[in-house]
Chains A and B, each alone.
Chain A
Amino acid sequence: MAYLEIKNFCKKFGEHEVLKGIDLSIEKGEVLSIIGSSGSGKTTLLRCINFLETPNKGVMVLDGETLFNAETDKKIREKDLREKRLNFGLVFQSFNLFPQYSVADNITLAPLLQLKEKCKKDKTLNFAEEKQKIIADAEKLLEKTGLTDKKNEYPCVLSGGQQQRVAIARALALKPKILCFDEPTSALDPELTGEVLKVIRALKGEDRTMIIVTHEMGFAKNVSDSVVFMANGVIEEEGNPKEVFENPKSEKLKAFLAGINNKEGE
Chain B
Amino acid sequence: MSFELINSTLLRGFGTTCLLFILTLVLSLPLGLLIMFGLKCPVKIVSWLCRIFVWIIRGTPLMLQLFVVFYVPSLLFGIKLFSFTNGTVFEGRFLAALITFVINYACYFSVIFKGGVDNISRGQYEAGKVLGLTKSQIFYKIVLLQVIKTIISPISNEVITLVKDTSLARVISVAEIFFINETEILSKAIVWPLFYIAVFFLLFIGLLTILFNYLEKKLSYFKA
Interfacial chain A residues near B133, Cβ < 8 Å: 82, 110, 113
Interfacial chain B residues near A9, Cβ < 8 Å: none
Stretch at the interface among A85-93, A197-205, A217-225: A85-93
Say if the beta carbon of A44 comes within 8 Å of chain B. Answer: no
Say if the beta carbon of A188 comes within 8 Å of chain B. Answer: no
Say if the beta carbon of A94 comes within 8 Å of chain B. Answer: yes
Question: Most A CB atoms within 10 A — which of B131, B132, B221?
Answer: B131
Say if the beta carbon of A265 comes within 8 Å of chain B. Answer: no
Interface residues of A in 104-126 (CB under 8 A from B): 109-110, 113-114
Say if the beta carbon of A255 comes within 8 Å of chain B. Answer: no
Say if the beta carbon of B141 comes within 8 Å of chain A. Answer: yes
Complex contact A96–B121 (CB within 8 A): yes
Interface size class, chain B: 20 to 34
Among A52, A97, A155, A174, the residue within 8 A (CB) of B132 is A174
Say if the beta carbon of B124 comes within 8 Å of chain A. Answer: yes
Say if the beta carbon of B78 comes within 8 Å of chain A. Answer: no
Question: Most A CB atoms within 10 A — which of B121, B132, B135, B149?
Answer: B132
Complex contact B222–A85 (CB within 8 A): no
Complex contact A99–B126 (CB within 8 A): no
Say if the beta carbon of B183 comes within 8 Å of chain A. Answer: no
Interfacial chain B residues near A154, Cβ < 8 Å: 221-222
Among A78, A99, A109, A155, the residue within 8 A (CB) of B135 is A78
Say if the beta carbon of A3 comes within 8 Å of chain B. Answer: no
Measured CB to CB, the nearest residue on chain B to A99 is: B222
Among B124, B129, B135, B149, the residue within 8 A (CB) of A98 is B124
Query: How many interface contacts (CB-CB < 8 Å) are there between A and B?
Result: 62
Interfacial chain A residues near B17, Cβ < 8 Å: none
Say if the beta carbon of B137 comes within 8 Å of chain A. Answer: yes
Interface residues of B in 119-155 (CB under 8 A from A): 121, 123-124, 126-127, 129-135, 137, 141-142, 145-146, 149
Minimal beta-carbon separation of B146 from chain A (angstroms): 6
Minimal beta-carbon separation of B148 from chain A (angstroms): 10
A109 to B141, CA, bound (A): 9
Complex contact B129–A85 (CB within 8 A): yes
Complex contact A155–B124 (CB within 8 A): no
Interfacial chain B residues near A247, Cβ < 8 Å: none
Complex contact B123–A92 (CB within 8 A): yes
Interfacial chain A residues near B137, Cβ < 8 Å: 113
A100 to B137, CA, bound (A): 15
Interfacial chain A residues near B224, Cβ < 8 Å: 99-100
Say if the beta carbon of B217 comes within 8 Å of chain A. Answer: no
Say if the beta carbon of A50 comes within 8 Å of chain B. Answer: yes
Minimal beta-carbon separation of A180 from chain B (angstroms): 9
Say if the beta carbon of B223 comes within 8 Å of chain A. Answer: yes
A34 to B179, CA, bound (A): 73
Encode A60-97 as 1/0 by CB contact (under 8 A) with B: 00000000000000000010001101101110101011
Minimal beta-carbon separation of B131 from chain A (angstroms): 4
Measured CB to CB, the nearest residue on chain A to B223 is: A156
Complex contact B124–A52 (CB within 8 A): no
Interfacial chain B residues near A109, Cβ < 8 Å: 131, 141
| Sample of 8 further A-B pairs with CB below 8 A, known A50-B130, A96-B126 | A82-B129, A82-B133, A90-B126, A96-B124, A96-B127, A98-B124, A156-B223, A170-B131
List residues of A whose CB falls within 8 A of some B CB: 50-52, 78, 82-83, 85-86, 88-90, 92, 94, 96-100, 109-110, 113-114, 154-156, 170-171, 174
